Amino acid sequence: MREPRPNALNSELSDIAADVFARVRARAPRVHCLTNAVAQTFTANVLLAVGAIPSMTIAPEEIVSFVARADSFLVNLGTFDHERHKATALAIEHVIRKGTPWVLDPVFIDRSQPRTVLAQTLFEQAPTTVRLNSAEFAALTGAEPRRKVLLRQATDHHAVIALTGATDLITDGTRIVEIANGDPLMAKVTAMGDALSALVAACLAVEVDAWVATASAVLGFGVAGEIAAETARGPGSFAVGLIDVLHGLDRAQLLAKGRAT
């Protein structure tokens, strides 16, 4: 699977994603999340549901202690305050030196210039994966998110890029996969993207091929979203149901629902 055929990915990626999710459950990786206040609780619950162990401290005094014990790391730029700035710099310096996989989620950087600048600086430090939407990609790179641009940005930054939206594109500069799972209710619950980024970090902790890990997380999250939407009565019960589904997500569901091309 290290060199998948781009157009025969469907059942193949579902199968691999099932393996990756099983490994997360078996190994219970520690994922440290430096994330925004709005997303912290939901993110922690998504990680716990899939079997990972979240920690969330943002204090500069202890961030390195936590990151040093973590198997992967997420930095999310939502509600970005002074303390998180300091903690981010310390944490990134540590994960780069140690080779810990890390995910950059440049939330809302299209809305704030200081946030854009910070995101660009972090992008230069070769995150394992960057997870963002089209507006954030445009703000980060100054370019529209066409396939060719995605491939080049991934290559130039030695990073997997996961562009999420109505459909998702995941590339490492060589391989690219399009995933058509998910449900419109996902856009009606806060912190969905943030939680997906944390799930990517959990998968990176158990799968060395970052492109495979990232695609597995995106596929699994989208499939879980579709299943949760089937019985949801609105975004409230959808969010609750998504946690339930992620907790029990299995190979049969991934094979039946996965839509990767």
115 binds a copy of itself (CB under 8 A): yes
37 vs 208, beta carbon nearer a copy of itself: 37
165 binds a copy of itself (CB under 8 A): no
25 binds a copy of itself (CB under 8 A): no
Which of 1, 11, 26, 41 is the binder for a copy of itself (CB under 8 A)?
41
36 binds a copy of itself (CB under 8 A): yes
Nearest approach, Cβ of 47 to a copy of itself (angstroms)?
A: 8
126 vs 240, beta carbon nearer a copy of itself: 240
89 binds a copy of itself (CB under 8 A): no
164 vs 214, beta carbon nearer a copy of itself: 164
Could you give the CA distance from residue 128 to residue 210 in angstroms, rounded to a whole number?
7
247 vs 251, beta carbon nearer a copy of itself: 247
5 vs 82, beta carbon nearer a copy of itself: 82
| Contact set for a copy of itself, span 47-76 (CB under 8 A) | 48-49, 54-59, 61-62, 65-66, 69
Sign of CA dihedral 57, 247, 211, 208: positive
Judge whether 186 and 167 are in contact, CB under 8 Å: no
Which of 27, 152, 247, 257 is the binder for a copy of itself (CB under 8 A)?
247
Binding window for a copy of itself (CB under 8 A); candidates: 16-24, 94-102, 141-149, 231-239: 231-239
21 vs 80, beta carbon nearer a copy of itself: 80
Could you give the CA distance from residue 50 to residue 221 in angstroms, rounded to a whole number?
10
**C-alpha angle 136-142-146 in degrees, rounded to nearest 5:** 75
78 binds a copy of itself (CB under 8 A): yes
Residues that bind a copy of itself (CB under 8 A): 36-42, 44-45, 48-49, 54-59, 61-62, 65-66, 69, 78-83, 108, 111-115, 187-191, 232-237, 239-248
